[in-house]
Structure 1
Amino acid sequence: MEKEFGQQLEALLEKFSELLVGDSSEDTKEKVKAWALYSHIAKTMPALINHWSALYPDARGEMKTIINEIKQLNEKHRKSTNK
């Protein structure tokens, strides 16, 4: 991947994180990236997610935690911007 494209993609992720949850720290961006990728795979290849979940139950639990955290941050962000 070209360096310039990588930087542009990183900028997209940063803005997406900011708009989604109101934070674009490195930790939050990594969680948003994992959530987005997992969500896309779950919608397009649910059997793969089922297989992965069976192979790695601990990782599935971690993913559930990330999904819940992103959901809570998004709800909090939406409430704070709708005031």
Structure 2
Amino acid sequence: MEKVFVQQFEALLEKYSELLVGEAAEETKEKVKAWALYTHIAKSMPALAKHWNELYPEAKEEMKQIINEIKKMNEEHRNSAEK
């Protein structure tokens, strides 16, 4: 991948993170990236996600924590934006 593309894609991810959860810290962006990719995989290839969940139960639990954290941050961000 070209360096320019990587920078532009990072800018997209940063803005997506800001709009989704209200911040774009590196750790948050990585969680948003994992959440988005896992969600897409689970919807487009559910058997693969199920297999991965069974193969790596500890990772499945960590992914559940990430999903719940993103959901909570999104709800808090939406609630603060409504005020």
TM-score range, shorter chain: over 0.9
CA distance in 1, matches of 2:82, 2:12: 23
Which stretches of structure 1, 4 residues or longer, exceed 3 Å deviation after superposition?
none
2:13 is aligned with 1:21: no
How far does residue 21 in structure 1 lie from its aligned partner after superposition?
A: 0.1
Q: Deviations over 1:46-65 (max 9, x none)?
A: 00000000100000000000
Among all aligned residue pairs of Structure 1 and Structure 2, give the percentage whose two residues are the same amino acid: 71
The alignment's TM-score, normalised by the length of structure 2, stands at 0.99
Structure 1 gaps, min length 5: none
Structure 2 gaps, min length 5: none
**Alignment coverage as a number of residue pairs:** 83
The alignment's TM-score, normalised by the length of structure 1, stands at 0.99
